[in-house]
Amino acid sequence: MAKVISIIGAGVVGQAVGRMLRERGYEIRGVVSRSIERAEKAAVFIGAGEPGVDPAKGASGADWVFITTPDKAIRETCERIARGKGFGKGSLAIHMSGALGSNVLEPAREAGAQALSIHPIQSLASSEQAVKNLPGSYFSIEGDAGAIPDGKEIVEALGGLLVMIPGEKKALYHAGAAVASNYLVAVLDFAVMIYEALGMKREEAVKAVMPLIRGTVNNVERVGVPDALTGPIARGDVETVSGHIEALTKYLPEMLPLYKALGRHTVSVGLRKGSLKEEDADMLLKILD
Ligand SMILES: NC(=O)c1ccc[n+]([C@@H]2O[C@H](COP(=O)([O-])OP(=O)(O)OC[C@H]3O[C@@H](n4cnc5c(N)ncnc54)[C@H](OP(=O)(O)O)[C@@H]3O)[C@@H](O)[C@H]2O)c1
C-alpha cells in the first residue's frame, strides 16, 4: 500500500516533494507551516493535504514525516512532534538538510520511529523550479539501516539518483557541495573583480565571462576532471602565470594570496591530467609560493 506522507515545514523543498510524491500516487496527510494561510497555500500547490500549524497533529498518522523546515528548526520541530506523540510505530522521520546528519532526528528515534537524512545535491530557488530540477539530481541518504529501502523508494519516486554516505562524514560531504556551488560563485566573483579593475561594469563582466563558464562546464561534463583543465598551468606556461602575478601585484594585490592558492591546486590538477611536466610544475610552484 502506498505510504502516507506529512510535510512539516512547507517551503520550497517541502512543497515540491509533497507535490511530486502526490503525483506518484502517495497520500498526503498533514501540510504544516507556522501560519495557517501559508499552510493552506502550500496544500494548494501540493494538490492535497490537511493544512495546519501544529507539527505533532500534522505528522500524526503519517508513515513518512518530512521535516523540511530551515535547518535550525529541524531538531526543535522533531522534538515537538515527538512530545505531541506525532510519530507512530514504524513511522519514518526524514529531513533534507545537506549540513545535518540524521542524528538531529534523535527525538524521533526515542519515540520509536526511524530516521533518515535525504539530501538533493541541487540548489532550489522555488518549488516550481524544484519540481523540474529534482528529477535527475543526485540524492545522498544517511541514517537507520532499516529505513534505507524507504529512502531508496523516496529518491526513486523523486526521479533522483542515489549516493550512500556514512553519517559521520556528513559534514565532509556537505563541504564538497559547498565547494562545487558556493566556492564556484566566489571564484567567479574574483574573475569579475579582475575585469572591474580593467574598468568594466560588474554586470558586463559577468556577461563577458558567461560563455567561458558555460564552455568550461560543458567540458567538465564531457571529459570530467582533471581532463577538462586547459590554460597556462595545464600547458606549463610559466611566463604567462608570472605575467598574471605581476599584473595582480600591481592592480589587485589583495587578491594575490587567493590567485596563488588556487594556482597551486591547479598545478596538482595539471599533473594528474598529465599535460603538465614535473619540471614545469616545480617552476610554477616556486612562483606560486
Ligand atoms: N532550497 C534549497 O536549495 C535546498 C536544497 C537542498 C536541501 N535543502 C534543505 O531543505 C530544507 C528546507 O529548505 P527550504 O529551502 O525549503 O526552506 P524554506 O523555503 O525556507 O522552507 C522552510 C519552511 O519551513 C517553515 N518553517 C520554518 N520554521 C518552522 C517551524 N518551526 N515549524 C514549522 N514550519 C516552519 C517555513 O514556513 P513558515 O514561515 O510559514 O513557518 C518555510 O515555509 C532545509 O533543511 C534545507 O537545508 C534546501
What are the sequence ranges of the domains in the chain? 4-165, 172-287
Tell me the percentage of the chain whose pLDDT exceeds 70.
100
d(Cα 280, Cα 271) in Å, to the nearest integer? 10
* 18 pocket-lining for ligand 1 (C-beta < 6 Å): no
pLDDT at 186: 97
Q: Which atom of ligand 1 is nearest to the CA of 73?
A: 31
Comparing 168-177, 182-191, 263-272, the range with the smallest average pLDDT is: 168-177
pLDDT band of residue 139 (cuts 50, 70, 90) is very high
Average pLDDT, the chain: 97
Q: What is the pLDDT of residue 216?
A: 97
pLDDT tier, 89 (very low <50, low <70, confident <90, very high otherwise): confident
What band does 134 get if pLDDT is binned at 50, 70 and 90? very high
* Nearest protein Cα to ligand 1, atom 35: 9
In short, whether 10's Cβ falls inside 6 Å of ligand 1 is: yes
The stretch 129-140 carries a mean pLDDT of: 96
Cα–Cα distance list, 18 to 2, 23, 130, 238 (Å): 14, 9, 11, 54
d(CA 71, CA 76): 10
Q: What is the C-alpha to C-alpha distance for residues 17 and 114, in angstroms, rounded to an integer?
A: 19
What mean pLDDT is predicted for residues 27-54? 98
Ligand 1 contacts CB of residue 110 (under 6 A) = no
- The predicted structure's pLDDT at residue 123: 87
Q: Report d(CA 156, CA 33) in Å as an integer.
A: 26
C-alpha triplet 232, 237, 240: angle, nearest 5°: 75
The single residue listed with the C-alpha cell 545522498 is: 140
Could you give the CA distance from residue 255 to residue 216 in angstroms, rounded to a whole number?
A: 23
- 123 ligand 1 Cβ < 6 A: yes
What DSSP letter does each residue of 32-63 carry, written as one string? E-SSHHHHHHHHHHHT--EEES-HHHHHTT-S
CATH of 4-165, one of 3.40.630.30, 3.40.140.10, 3.40.50.720, 3.20.20.450: 3.40.50.720
For 178-234, the pLDDT digits (tens) are 999 999 999 999 999 999 999 999 999 999 999 999 999 999 999 999 999 999 999
Residue 1 in this model has a pLDDT that exceeds 80: no
Confidence of residue 252 (pLDDT cuts 50, 70, 90): very high
What's residue 272's pLDDT? 98
Percent of the chain residues topping a pLDDT of 90 = 97
* pLDDT of 189: 98
- pLDDT band of residue 88 (cuts 50, 70, 90) is very high
